Amino acid sequence: MRKTILLNSNLSSVISKMGHTDMIAIGDCGLPIPDESERIDLALVKGIPTFMETLKATLLELQVEEVILAKETEAISKELYNEIKEVIGNVKISLVTHEELKVKLKSCKAVVRTGEQTPYANIILKSGVVF
């Protein structure tokens, strides 16, 4: 059995294969996932797991140099936006429109679907390096 904290084998596998600047997304249960991206569906029921639980677990395993958020997240879900900023620390934040974010999903190695139902609870994590 793994000694690391992340137990989901699909998510762990994608993260272990990521190189510098590769991207992975975490989204709410309504985010459309393009056919080009692997779908990692964690959603069980409304709110389980939450977006923030999934983000925090992912950040335990993935070195991130930049996050991409929809401008709408900051405007419409301000509390969530502030929580994201707190959790990611000094990581660069790039803001795009929600429509641009959905286009960028096609370039992600995977999109993780949560049970979250907060508007615009979506993020793209760009992999950094540990050296």
- Split at pLDDT 50, 70, 90, the class of 128 is very high
pLDDT per residue as tens digits for the range 19-56? 999 999 999 999 999 999 999 999 999 999 999 999 99
What is the side-by-side strand order in the sheet with 23-27?
A: 38-41, 110-113, 23-27, 123-127, 64-70, 92-96
User: Among residues 17, 20, 92, 106, which one is catalytic?
Assistant: 20
d(CA 113, CA 77): 18
Binding positions for substrate: 28, 98, 120-122
pLDDT per residue as tens digits for the range 73-99? 999 999 999 999 999 999 999 999 999
d(CA 125, CA 109): 10
Higher pLDDT, residue 115 or 3: 115
**54 in active site:** no
- Does residue 61 have a pLDDT over 90? yes
Q: Looking at residue 118, what is its pLDDT?
A: 97
| Domains within the chain, CATH numbers bracketed | 21-127 (3.40.1650.10)
Q: Cα 35 vs. chain centroid, distance in angstroms?
A: 17
